[in-house]
């Protein structure tokens, strides 16, 4: 008789069933050949990162040093840090790399923390590209494999870690807007706001690029609707409700626009 997943007794059968329950969603996901190809390519691109002791980058060691200073800044035996460094407590862009690395350094050795941080980037780039492609044409999401030649790019080897993370976040923000552009509920506005904040703290340039792209696309779609109504000899003001719904996502950008304005004003003071 096949073992059943009962919880009356903790033993080999219990753990076997537990593992089957945990890995069943992954097994189902990998049963799709497109998902399997994406997973295999991600693993292949992680191999060189974990094969060698050091990741060759220009500014990477400086980011690790800064993250370590943040982590140990308040330790009683680190008076030299407090003598020569001052923590920037302003909500400025480019915080993602330092804060995430500082958190990872609390859990693992420095070189391992860097590899984990970079591994997350290697995984997120093709997944985010697939997300934005599927938001436009779900049957074309296999095109995300075209991002793999660009994973280990010049900017990553320059050590621009936060800037490297801004591309996956750009894809997630723009893709999320494309997916729900005409059906933004309060919950989706909040989710887009969180994604936008993550993009802001990755890099402000990509945040501006995402907002410009969304603004231009919104204007274009609203213009198309107006022309369609004109062709049908319907007055545009009758579709004002649709136009208002298309403007809802811009409420999600208010926190990041406010932070951006504060950052610019502080730089000019």
From first to last of the 269 residues of the chain, give the pLDDT tens digit: 444 454 444 445 655 565 556 566 766 766 777 888 899 999 999 999 999 999 999 999 999 999 999 999 888 888 888 888 888 878 788 888 888 999 999 999 999 999 999 999 999 999 999 999 999 998 888 899 999 999 999 999 999 998 899 899 999 999 999 999 888 889 999 999 999 999 999 888 889 999 999 999 999 888 887 777 766 665 555 555 566 677 888 899 999 999 888 888 876 55
Nearest Cα to 67, choosing from 93, 49, 85? 85
Predicted pLDDT of residue 3: 47
Predicted pLDDT of residue 29: 63
CB–CB of 246/182 below 8 Å?
Answer: yes
Predicted pLDDT of residue 22: 59
Predicted pLDDT of residue 264: 82
Predicted pLDDT of residue 246: 76
Predicted pLDDT of residue 209: 92
């Amino acid at each position: 008789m096949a073992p059943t997943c009962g919880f009356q007794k903790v033993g080999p059968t219990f753990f076997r069933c537990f593992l089957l329950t945990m890995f069943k969603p992954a097994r189902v996901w990998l049963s799709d050949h497109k998902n399997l190809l994406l997973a295999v390519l991600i693993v292949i691109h992680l191999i060189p990162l974990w094969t060698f002791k050091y990741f060759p980058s220009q500014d990477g060691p400086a980011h690790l040093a800064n993250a370590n200073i943040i982590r140990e800044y308040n330790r009683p035996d680190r008076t030299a840090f407090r003598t020569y460094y001052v923590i920037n407590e302003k909500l400025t862009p480019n915080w993602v790399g330092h804060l995430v690395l500082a958190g990872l350094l609390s859990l693992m050795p420095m070189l391992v923390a860097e590899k984990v941080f970079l591994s997350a980037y290697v995984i997120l780039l093709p997944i985010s590209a697939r997300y934005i492609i599927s938001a436009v044409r779900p049957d074309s999401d296999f095109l995300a494999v075209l991002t793999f030649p660009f994973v280990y790019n010049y900017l990553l080897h320059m050590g621009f870690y936060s800037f490297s993370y801004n591309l996956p976040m750009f894809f997630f923000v723009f893709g999320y807007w494309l997916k729900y552009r005409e059906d933004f509920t309060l919950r989706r506005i909040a989710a887009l706001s969180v994604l936008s904040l993550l993009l802001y703290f990755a890099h402000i340039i990509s945040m501006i690029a995402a907002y410009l792209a969304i603004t231009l696309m919104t204007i274009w779609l609203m213009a198309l609707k107006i022309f369609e109504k004109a062709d049908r000899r319907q007055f545009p003001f009758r579709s004002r409700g649709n136009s208002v719904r298309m403007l809802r996502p811009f409420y999600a950008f208010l926190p990041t626009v406010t932070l951006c304005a504060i950052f610019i004003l502080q730089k000019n003071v």
